[in-house]
């Protein structure tokens, strides 16, 4: 793995492209994906590993949840690639996302409209969408991402990060133990029995995630509210290059 790490990225550069069009990053066979995600920024993976040149992944912020975890209450529609707080895509040869489950995973999907556990408030989705559009306009006008609620602070731009970090390896957080990973994948804390206080002294904080024995690599994270005025404290994107699987989970403080 090529060593690369940056944090608090507030300027776009050659490997980041903000606000990609949904039609350009989701497969045509799953047009409903644009109803469940806001595309934040595309990342050229060559910046992390020259062997990944030509492969581009996309940071997404889901509309769900307004409370709890994404995937809560839709378990009958889950498969081996999805679980509460976890979801996966296959990266196609033309760098589009193919969701590795069906639309029923999302509480906002038509099949769940009469779900007795459907708690989702569409006003929340409207608010996220409105803040997202404002953020997009700010980047087009000013070249920077501004706080959706308070774009100015003491007379200056209140800038937000396009990415909170990229590279550098996994970090231990609530996401590692808040919900079980989907059955297709394996998550291990290495070595077993290590005290939490000692994890940050280990590579990847002692975290190993694999699919068919092949390791996932940590790519990046960003707070959903940087773009949308709400969402997860950290949207965590990871990649397994052999199968071209992109895995997402979400951290909440």
Reading the block at residue 132, the tokens are 């997202």
Reading the block at residue 226, the tokens are 């940087």
Q: What is the 3-state secondary structure (H, E, C) of 32-44?
A: HHHHCEEEEEEEE
Could you report how far apart the first and last alpha carbons of the chain are, in Å?
29
138 domain residue, yes or no: yes
What distance lies between CA 228 and its chain's CA centroid?
13
Is residue 90 classed as helix, strand or coil in its secondary structure? strand
pTM value > 0.85: yes
pLDDT (tens digit, 9 = 90+) per residue, 229-240? 999 999 999 999
pLDDT tens, the chain, 253 aa long: 457 999 999 999 899 999 999 999 999 999 999 999 999 999 999 999 999 999 999 999 999 998 899 999 999 999 999 999 999 999 999 999 999 999 999 999 999 999 998 989 899 999 999 999 999 999 999 999 999 898 988 888 999 999 999 999 999 999 998 999 999 999 998 766 666 667 777 889 999 999 999 999 999 999 999 999 999 999 999 999 999 999 999 999 8
| 52, 45 Cβ separation under 8 angstroms | yes
| 222, 234 Cβ separation under 8 angstroms | yes
Domain membership of residue 96 as a residue range: 5-248
Which phi and psi angles does 107 have, rounded to 5°?
-65, -30
| 82, 100 Cβ separation under 8 angstroms | yes
Q: What is the CA radius of gyration of the chain?
A: 18
187 domain residue, yes or no: yes
Which residues, 6+ apart, have CB-to-CB distance to 65 below 8 Å? 72, 107, 120
10 domain residue, yes or no: yes
Structural domain count, the chain: 1
Cα gap 192→206, rounded to integer Å: 9
253 domain residue, yes or no: no
């Amino acid at each position: 793995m090529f060593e690369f790490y940056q944090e608090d990225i507030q300027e776009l550069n050659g490997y980041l492209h903000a606000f990609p069009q949904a039609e350009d990053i989701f497969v045509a066979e799953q047009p409903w994906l644009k109803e469940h995600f806001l595309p934040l920024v595309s990342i050229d993976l060559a910046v992390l590993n020259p062997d990944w040149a030509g492969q581009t992944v996309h940071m997404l912020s889901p509309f769900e949840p307004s409370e709890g975890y994404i995937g809560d209450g839709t378990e009958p529609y889950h498969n081996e690639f999805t679980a509460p707080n976890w979801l996966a895509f296959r990266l196609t040869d033309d760098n589009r996302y193919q969701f590795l489950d069906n639309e029923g995973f999302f509480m906002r999907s038509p099949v769940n409209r009469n779900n007795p556990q459907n708690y989702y408030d569409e006003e929340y989705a409207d608010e996220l969408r409105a803040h997202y559009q404002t953020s997009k306009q700010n980047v087009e006008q000013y070249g920077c991402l501004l706080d959706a609620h308070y774009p100015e602070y003491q007379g200056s731009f209140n800038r937000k990060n396009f990415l909170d970090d990229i590279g550098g390896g996994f970090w231990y957080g609530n996401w590692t133990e808040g919900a079980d990973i989907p059955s297709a994948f394996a998550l291990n804390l290495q070595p077993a029995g290590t005290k939490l206080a000692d994890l940050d002294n280990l590579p990847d904080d002692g975290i190993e995630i694999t699919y068919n024995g092949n390791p996932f690599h940590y790519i990046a994270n960003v707070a959903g509210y940087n773009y949308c005025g709400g969402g997860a404290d950290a949207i965590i994107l990871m990649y397994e290059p052999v199968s071209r699987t992109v895995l997402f989970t979400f951290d909440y403080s």
